[in-house]
Structure 1
């Protein structure tokens, strides 16, 4: 079943850039915030660990391969879906800029993937284990970081500022409710990861299909019980991932969700209806995991707008903003800041 949008063609110059519908560099929307503002707000909220990421600081590297299903060529001409093995460098992480964040925190977990395609091409996917994001616009994310800045008198965020943020930013509600209702996983291996944003798959004729994707663990989805949540140590995710890959290959199935006319492509806080067609388009297999220091994933800037031919970004303003924000953070850590 195809969810192609009839007659929708990407202009040749857009396809050639590999950036699809991304906003041109240097062009700001009226209420757009700058990447530097967001990075500075993250630093104010969490502090700075020199040479490390400003967000998702605590992480673990992994490596393996992805084998896409040729049937996916019905929607995308990407080399990901050739049926051949594609090497993958992965990184798992906790949201926030605290390198000592407890693994029991009710915060998002991340899975970032760099697919190393034939001929030197790259495809990045940067995902969370929540089905929606906590901001429809970069301004909301900035305002959240500002609200989370610790009060010098207490060393903790001001509860009144957090309350005021929640009251004035309803687009943060869906992700916050999901995190509140779902305990974190006992292992990175027992969580699904969602692409969060909408994207366009582009076929060999240039026709586009709006899609979202998620990676579903073959080990099964699990969550810590309340007693486990209270008694677990602050650091267990990295150890369990390393131990699990030592036992044998760890796999996720990539499921593609096909959009329909009217499904929002510009708002990562709104999920698509559950009845949308879902198609398995490949399997990710990870065979090793290591601490990130000195490992392959450490220096990678997992920019979600790094895309190979056949996949293009949507008109989502948060997706567009992630690239310059990641670049600003990347430049600082490369400089040892």
Structure 2
């Protein structure tokens, strides 16, 4: 993150905003510190490491935008020139020993390095919806996941009660239950989840959601592979695949309409919405994250360059202060 991005994130973490949008009382009940603390209690703490998506792999490549995007955004991301990208692929959660077969989201985080030092971040997971419409739901899930001292595992009754009382968590849980995890980071689509606003040269805005679709195709693990694969295989497969040649994903926009839910990442948009391919991401190399470029990056999704703006999604705005607190802790070796 550049200096301005760190300053903005730091101000948010200090209590300015904390992700609350006007009139949303439920959000104001939750602080970023509460969420980070609950995550530490649910997964434990590995000093100097991320609190979430701790297990990851660095990668590098480039992005080339298409002219079709310029009808919606003036972002330099879509100039048609190659834009360097620092990527990170990951597993959700704060357990560095989590098995790669776990039915949890996979992540793709991208830092686009534009001319003049400007940055654009995109932080995505491989489920089309998020498991919370409000920060309070995410916090309550983490509280329900905290291990019972008697068993060392989450209390099934608390998890059951959480699901029953938080319907906005069910769509993502259903997706994870019904879809086996991908066989490789290379064989998964990744979704931006939130609504963003593309801003064109005349200042007109268009609500959009984006996803990155793998040119290698989507390939889930078989039921047998879920039982027999070792705990660690995703990093090795990604590194081996990049040694065979470049990996590519198509960036696809979904164009929203005024009636579509723009501030709720737990809900999808209708399937008949216009789809536009606006560029291609190419990954040329991958490496273990230790001491690699991506390791120290705080992939804050609110780090944006001109031409792309956030919606009022409360979960999107809450991520920035939460990331800032986690980033500050790991930077201090905590």
Q: How many residues align?
A: 317
The alpha-carbon deviation at position 25 of structure 1 amounts to 3.0
Matching of residue 177 in structure 1 with residue 168 in structure 2: no
| 1:47-126 mapped onto 2 (5 Å cutoff) | 47-126=44-123
The match for 1:10 is none
Shift of 1:260: 1.0
Cα deviation for residue 92 of structure 1 reads 0.3
Aligned pairs (5 A) from 1:317-336: 317-336=314-333
For 2:285, the equivalent position in structure 1 comes to: 288
Q: Distance between the aligned counterparts of 1:322 and 1:276, measured in 2? A: 27
Give the distance between the partners of 2:165 and 2:68, measured in 1 at CA.
45
1:26 aligns with 2:23: no
C-alpha offsets along residues 237-260 of structure 1, whole Å, 9 cap, x if unaligned? 000000000110000000010001
* Runs of 5+ unmatched residues, structure 2: 1-7
User: How many angstroms does 1:275 deviate by?
Assistant: 0.5
Name the residue aligned to 2:133: 136
Q: In structure 2, what is the Cα distance between the partners aligned to 1:118 and 1:281?
A: 19
- Please give the per-residue CA displacement for 1:23-58, whole angstroms capped at 9, x wherever unaligned: x93364532211100000000000000000000000
Tell me if 1:301 matches 2:292: no
In structure 1, list runs of 5 or more residues that go unmatched: 1-17
- 1:233 paired to 2:233: no
Structure with the higher fraction of residues in helix conformation: 2
1: CA distance, partners of 2:41 / 2:177: 25
Cα distance per residue 1:111-144 (max 9 Å; x no partner)? 0000000110000000000000000000000000
Report runs of 4+ in structure 1 exceeding 2 Å deviation: 24-32
Deviation, structure 1 residue 261: 1.8
* Contact in 1 for aligned 2:68/2:276 (Cα 8 Å): no
CA distance in 2, matches of 1:128, 1:63: 18
**Cα distance in 2, alignment partners of residues 157 and 184 from structure 1:** 22
TM-score after normalising by structure 1: 0.92
CA RMSD for the aligned pairs? Answer: 1.4
Aligned to 2:204: 207
Deviations 1:141-189 (A, max 9, x none): 0000000000011000001100110000000000000000000011000
